[in-house]
Amino acid sequence: MSRDRAAIVGAGIAGLAAAEALSGTYDVVVYDRLPVPGGVLRFDHPAVTGLERRCRAAGVSWKLGTTAVRWDGSRLMGVGPGGICWDDAALLVYAGGCRPATLAELGVTGPRLAGVYPAPVAIHLAEAKVILGRRVAIIGSGHWARASREAISGHDCSVTVVTEPEPACGASAARFSGDRVLDGWRPVAVQGVGRVDALTLDRAGQRYRISCDAVILAGSQRPLRNVDGAVTEPAPMVAFVQPLGEHTTHADVAQQVREALPELIRQTSGRSEA
């Protein structure tokens, strides 16, 4: 007897945990734009290899290196090395991970300038030996901020860390020793011509302008949504599994996904029957 297919977008911890959890009741296919599982963890991280091994043993199939671009309620379109492909699926599980808030989402005004990087981009560039700037401002104090700071640690630059009004982890200054830490300030504007050269902050109506030639957006997690037809909630036959949380570990993510998935699928099925 044939089973319904579930398509999963994202082969990070959340996607792999979902694939394993669903493999008993669905034929599961996992999409990821990267060519290997793991997402923000490395492909050889023990948590990744363990989940991948169990998924393969359970018969999960893979569309790695293939970007999922469109969901129409019963089919998922992907673009990969072999061209465009469509997979029929009764359910889409979206496990696309998270991203930092954009300037617009933070309420920061100003022109669109070079030198403003979302933290994941900044980290990749820094690891590729790209110098981001000589006066770097990091907005946020959570794990993206720490990872960004670590990535530019070998660069010849000064760093200012601007923490949220309520820092995610508290005692942020202790975690950025040697850097200037501005606790409790909110970014409100970027200035510059072509490239950022200043960031204006606000705290209880008080304004403070700092000079910088790079800004790393590393605060306020948002779910990453980039598949047309599965952007806003609710979406037809889509369960979103994107746990947010500053202290969330990979084990927490996997556990949250396993616990939340049955109810998410029940809600999704209920919407389709209504």
Partner 1 sequence: MRVSSPVGEFPFEPVTVLIRGDRVRIEGRVGGWPAHVEIEADDIARLARLAGLRAALPVAGMLARRSKGRQPGNSHA
Strand-pair partners of 111: none
Decide if residue 174 touches partner 1 (CB under 8 A).
Answer: no
Interface positions, 65-104, toward partner 1 (CB under 8 A): 65-66, 80-81
Roughly how many angstroms between the first and final C-alpha of the chain, as a whole number?
Answer: 27
Report how far residue 227's alpha carbon sits from residue 187's, in angstroms, rounded to the nearest whole number.
30
Q: Closer to partner 1 at the Cβ: 52 or 164?
A: 52
Q: Closer to partner 1 at the Cβ: 122 or 218?
A: 122
Decide if residue 53 touches partner 1 (CB under 8 A).
Answer: no
Q: For residue 95, give Cα distances in angstroms to 87, 98, 120, 205, 249.
A: 17, 9, 17, 39, 15
Q: Closer to partner 1 at the Cβ: 32 or 164?
A: 32
Residues in the chain: 274
3-state SS assignment for residue 32: strand
Q: Closer to partner 1 at the Cβ: 83 or 178?
A: 83
Query: Which phi and psi (to 5°) does residue 229 adopt?
Result: 95, -10
Q: Closer to partner 1 at the Cβ: 42 or 203?
A: 42
Using the CB atoms, write b or e for 196-211: b if 16+ within 10 Å. Answer: bebbbbeeeeeeeebe
Out of 2, 44, 174, 232, which residue is the one contacting partner 1 (CB under 8 A)? 44
Q: Closer to partner 1 at the Cβ: 63 or 175?
A: 63
User: Could you tell me the smallest distance in angstroms from the CB atom of residue 38 to partner 1?
Assistant: 8
Sign, Cα dihedral of 234, 236, 239, 242 = negative
Amino acid at 149: R
Interface positions, 111-170, toward partner 1 (CB under 8 A): 124-125, 127-128
Residue whose pair of structure tokens reads 């969330």 in the numeric block: 248
Report how far residue 248's alpha carbon sits from residue 246's, in angstroms, rounded to the nearest whole number.
6
Decide if residue 34 touches partner 1 (CB under 8 A).
Answer: yes
* Number of chain residues interacting with partner 1 (CB under 8 A): 17
Stretch that binds partner 1, among 42-50, 83-91, 98-106, 186-194 (CB under 8 A): 42-50
* Angle CA 197–121–38, to nearest 5: 165
Decide if residue 62 touches partner 1 (CB under 8 A).
Answer: yes
**Residue 153's CB: how many other CB atoms inside 10 A?**
11
Decide if residue 42 touches partner 1 (CB under 8 A).
Answer: yes
User: Could you tell me the smallest distance in angstroms from the CB atom of residue 66 to partner 1?
Assistant: 7
User: Could you tell me the smallest distance in angstroms from the CB atom of residue 28 to partner 1?
Assistant: 16
Stretch that binds partner 1, among 48-56, 58-66, 109-117, 141-149 (CB under 8 A): 58-66
Out of 3, 4, 25, 35, which residue is the one contacting partner 1 (CB under 8 A)? 35
* DSSP assignment of 171-185: -HHHHTTTSEEETT-
Binding site for partner 1 (CB under 8 A): 34-36, 42-44, 62-66, 80-81, 124-125, 127-128
